[in-house]
Amino acid sequence: MKYLTEFRNGEIARTLAREIAQITTRQWKIMEVCGGQTHSIIKNGIDQMLPSGPGASIEMIHGPGCPVCVTPLELIDKALAIAAQPGVIFCSFGDMLRVPGTDSDLFQVKGRGGDVRVVYSPLDAVDLAVKNPGKQVVFFGVGFETTAPANAMSVHLAKRRGLRNFSVLVSHVLVPPAIAAILQSPGNQVQAFLAAGHVCSVMGYWQYPPLAEKFGVPIVVTGFEPLDLLEGIRRAVLQLEAGRHEVENAYSRVVTFDGNQAAQKLLGDVFEVTDRAWRGIGVIPNSGWRLNAEYRDFDAEERFHITGIHTQESALCRAGDVLRGAIKPAQCAAFGKECTPRHPLGATMVSSEGACAAYYNYGRFLSAEELAGAGSALSGAAHG
Amino acid sequence: MADSAKLVAPHSEMATPDFSNWSCPLPLADYPTIVMGHGGGGKLGSELVEHLFLPAFRNPALENLGDAAVLETAGARLALSTDSFVVQPLFFPGGSIGELAVNGTVNDLAVSGAEPKFLSASFILEEGFSLAQLAAIVDAMARSAATAGVQIVTGDTKVVERGHGDGCYITTAGVGVLRAGIQVGPHRVQPGDVIIVSGTIGDHGMAIMSVREGLEFESPIRSDCAALNGMIAEVLDAAGLAVHAMRDPTRGGLASTLNEIAQSSNVGIAINEASVPVRHEVQSACELLGLDPVYVANEGKAVFFVTPEAADRVLSILRAHPLGKDAARIGHATAEHKRILVARTTMGANRVIPTMIGEQLPRIC
């Protein structure tokens, strides 16, 4: 299959992994920013293919790039309150339905009679608004720069069509401010970044050279398939070993320096930069987008005036330590015990892209011996 | 970049956030109401069975929790199974709710080692539902029953007010006669058993999803909906007691079926990802929608646990049958990692394939 199986070739992957092992002479910590990359690394076992010797090793640190995980509790409670109102059709991407608010989630709102629908595109929500003039249609517009153009387009279309019954609950977050925030945080251990390929497909990578320069870190624009990830890691290690800190594009079949200009123009027309709270981290200045004055009418927060939300997050889990790379998910005492995808204690356990959920779902709680047993048992079978 | 300049703030304005204080949402209590996930073939559904239905109805025949109950009464060995069908759309590439309603129950009986004989059919119809559509559904049921060699011998019809149903719901129940000399069930699965799947996985679920999401492919994805009793009978005739367990991986897909068997048999299951047959268009649709084909429903596939000695024979019988031509050996049961399903990835790493919690949710990006 074109552009799919070629980038999952196990033999080429092992060759790349060998090359990475050969060029690695020290201990390096590299962060993949995007939750989709975390998912792919764990699912495919990329981290198990990297050198892990005492003197020369590569440790992947899983960044805060899961939009579901970082959406603030307060906004989820607002979404639940809006979705529960009669006369509202509340549309969301599938991931958000199971994310717990203070005492409910969208699945439960739906179970109690709320009209909650999973859509694949915000434009589907616009169509729903056209077809249901008697209802208020609200789209839950979360995500990084990747999902923003379609969300912007939905609002743009709604305005052009004069739709009075469409609005968006916006919580867009931005990657470059998050990278800067991580690099400035006390005790930062990240020495190089894999930039999120799909964010860069929209935004290009013209925002990254100042970051690489200011903080002296290599940044490699990287894709999501196993070979993409290994190539991104390889290029990051080459830079680290040579003492370089440049911005490279290892995902050139998708990403250009300038990015998608039409999308950026639309984003500029619809959104403006704002401070944004990241769940559990707190406010990162200038780290999000909101609808600008011209489109403020389509902001669900303005339209519904939800008040009286008091959120309280407990401090039981150690997601912050996971994000800083101080611990791996399985090293948290609650991991797999009090905290599972069924009963998540922390946002990183909620979404399939959250680091803790990825570790749990792919069995990183098993001992190495147990998994090795599976491997040796397999080698003699399954030749069908 | 002039257009985009206002989208980006200067880096110097960034403050330092406190990562050490990353806090957590409180865990949710168990769902107090039914959510869609209770019907998704995952953990939520099993919990409903385990904590509500089983304690209330408890009896030895129920406790096997197989696809069909095995009943020994008045000298006869019978299998009894029931299933409800609420699919939307009612008609899809490769079939309709009519074929599903017959084949679903026929297959549940067949994988229990029974020869399906008689079916009941109950219809819940919504006021305003088209009689022409109902006729098409009933016609499909009649044809499927004839193909499977079963008779629909009793039934019921109820009508609900407009808005209280989704056009047409069907419940079928079926009785079959257990074949002599055959014993299948999770209790017979042994470490070393070879696992064979009768063809490509995920076809039915993605056929439905493609219609719902308006995805169009050069060749449309067709449901694999089919009655498997003929093919299964050939396997049992040839391999007999060497067949330890059979299942039809419907809702929740191959992964849910294998996890269920791993848990009820107390064995580990190891599969080789590369040997699991998946159609290209199904794989593409899954990639687009952020789904994993191992969790996607099938309606015309069976999974067999057989002794290593019988594996080649079973495989060649399956491949000679029109419904089993893509059959493949995908892995085996093992004494390692008990109750856990592990897949060997194409990268050579091992990953656990867990039981789903509720429905599979499409990812944001």
Give one DSSP letter per residue of B28-94, joined into a string: PPPPSS--GGGGTTSHHHHHHIIIIIHHHH--HHHHT--SSEEEEETTEEEEEEEEEE--SSSEETT
Helix (H) or strand (E) holding B168: strand B168-178
Strand partners, B70: B79
What pLDDT, on the 0 to 100 scale, is given for residue A381? Answer: 34
Q: What angle do CA B313, B271, A61 make, to 5 degrees?
A: 165
Please give the average per-residue pLDDT across B159-172, as a whole number: 94
ipTM comes to: 0.70
**Would you call A225 an interface residue with chain B, using a CB distance cutoff of 8 Å?**
no
CA distance B147 to chain A (A): 30
What pLDDT, on the 0 to 100 scale, is given for residue A177? Answer: 94
B54 alpha carbon, distance to own chain's centre: 21
Rounded to 5 degrees, φ, ψ at B249 are -80, 80
What pLDDT, on the 0 to 100 scale, is given for residue B293? Answer: 94
What pLDDT, on the 0 to 100 scale, is given for residue B27? Answer: 28
Contact across the interface for A377 and B334, Cβ inside 8 Å: yes
What pLDDT, on the 0 to 100 scale, is given for residue A314? Answer: 55
Residue A237 · residue A58 · CB < 8 Å: yes
What pLDDT, on the 0 to 100 scale, is given for residue A318? Answer: 81
Q: pTM to 2 decimals? A: 0.80
Distance CA B197, CA B326 (A): 9
Distance CA B219, CA B203 (A): 13
Residues 6 or more apart from B135 whose CB is under 8 A from it?
Answer: none
Q: Which of residues 165-204 of B touch A (CB under 8 A)?
A: 194, 196
**Would you call A175 an interface residue with chain B, using a CB distance cutoff of 8 Å?**
no
Provide the number of CB pairs (under 8 Å) joining chain A to chain B.
295
Residue in A closest to B32 by C-alpha: A108
A46 alpha carbon, distance to own chain's centre: 18
Look at chain B and count its residues. 365
* Residue B322 pLDDT greater than 60, yes or no: yes
Contact across the interface for B347 and A1, Cβ inside 8 Å: no
Distance CA B103, CA A328 (A): 47
**Would you call B132 an interface residue with chain A, using a CB distance cutoff of 8 Å?**
no
**Which of B25, B213, B268 minimises the CB distance to A100?**
B25
Residue in A closest to B312 by C-alpha: A384
What pLDDT, on the 0 to 100 scale, is given for residue B235? Answer: 98
pLDDT 10s digits, B46-93:
888 888 888 889 998 888 888 899 998 888 899 999 999 999 899 999
Please give the average per-residue pLDDT across B179-206, as a whole number: 95
Residue B130: Cβ within 10 Å count: 11
**Tokens (6 digits) for B292:** 């994993």
Distance CA B285, CA A4 (A): 12
What pLDDT, on the 0 to 100 scale, is given for residue B363? Answer: 60
- Where would I find the H helices in B149-250? 203-213, 229-239
What pLDDT, on the 0 to 100 scale, is given for residue A339? Answer: 84
Residues 6 or more apart from B276 whose CB is under 8 A from it?
Answer: B197, B201, B254, B293, B294, B328, B330
Q: Which of residues 305-364 of A touch B (CB under 8 A)?
A: 312-324, 338-339, 341-347, 350-353, 360-363
Number of H helices, E strands in chain B: 10, 14
A237 alpha carbon, distance to own chain's centre: 23
CA distance A323 to chain B (A): 8
Burial of residue A31, with CB atoms counted within 10 A of its CB: 0-12 exposed, 13-18 middle, 19 or more buried: buried
Alpha-carbon dihedral A99, A100, A102, A106, rounded to 10 degrees: 70
The residue ranking higher by pLDDT, B9 or B109, is B109
**Would you call A285 an interface residue with chain B, using a CB distance cutoff of 8 Å?**
yes
Residues in chain B within 8 Å Cβ distance of A101: 25
* Residue B124 pLDDT greater than 90, yes or no: yes
pLDDT per position in chain A (384 positions), as tens?
466 678 888 899 999 999 999 999 999 999 998 888 988 898 888 988 999 988 899 999 888 888 887 888 889 999 999 999 999 999 998 878 877 788 788 988 998 999 999 898 899 999 999 999 999 999 999 899 999 999 999 999 999 999 999 999 998 999 999 999 889 888 788 999 999 999 999 999 999 999 999 999 999 999 999 999 999 999 999 999 999 999 999 999 999 999 999 999 999 999 999 999 887 677 899 999 999 999 999 999 999 988 878 776 656 778 777 766 677 888 888 888 888 877 777 767 876 667 888 888 777 655 544 544 444 333 333 332
Residue A151 · residue A141 · CB < 8 Å: yes
Q: Which of residues 94-113 of A touch B (CB under 8 A)?
A: 94-98, 100-105, 107-108, 110-112
Helix (H) or strand (E) holding B247: strand B243-247
**Which of B4, B24, B349 minimises the CB distance to A315?**
B24
* Residue B173 pLDDT greater than 50, yes or no: yes
**Would you call B283 an interface residue with chain A, using a CB distance cutoff of 8 Å?**
yes
3-state secondary structure string across chain A: CCCCHHHHCHHHHHHHHHHHHHHCCCEEEEEEEEHHHHHHHHHHCHHHHCCECCCCEEEEEEEEECHHHHCCHHHHHHHHHHHCCCCEEEEECHHHHHCCCCCCCHHHHHHCCCEEEECCCHHHHHHHHHHCCCCEEEEEEEECCCCHHHHHHHHHHHHHCCCCCEEEEEEEECHHHHHHHHHHCCCCCCCEEEEEHHHHHHHCCCCHHHHHHHHCCCEEEECCCHHHHHHHHHHHHHHHHHCCCCEEECCCCCCCCCCCHHHHHHHHHHEEEEEEEECCCEEEEEEEEEECHHHHHHEHHHHHCCCCCCCCCECCCCHHHHHHCCCCHHHCCCECCCECCCCCCCHHHCCCCCHHHHHHHCCCCCCHHHHHHHHHHHHCCCCC
Residue in A closest to B3 by C-alpha: A265
**Would you call B39 an interface residue with chain A, using a CB distance cutoff of 8 Å?**
no
Look at chain A and count its residues. 384
Averaged pLDDT score across all residues of chain B: 87
What pLDDT, on the 0 to 100 scale, is given for residue A244? Answer: 97
**Tokens (6 digits) for A378:** 């397999």
CA distance B244 to chain A (A): 18
3 state SS of B158: strand
Residues in chain B within 8 Å Cβ distance of A177: 9, 14
What pLDDT, on the 0 to 100 scale, is given for residue A324? Answer: 63
What pLDDT, on the 0 to 100 scale, is given for residue A337? Answer: 83
**Would you call A166 an interface residue with chain B, using a CB distance cutoff of 8 Å?**
no
Query: Could you identify the residue written with the tokens 């044809």?
Result: B143
**Would you call B276 an interface residue with chain A, using a CB distance cutoff of 8 Å?**
no
**Would you call A229 an interface residue with chain B, using a CB distance cutoff of 8 Å?**
no
Residues in chain B within 8 Å Cβ distance of A373: 334, 336-337
Residue B164 · residue B290 · CB < 8 Å: no
3 state SS of B10: coil
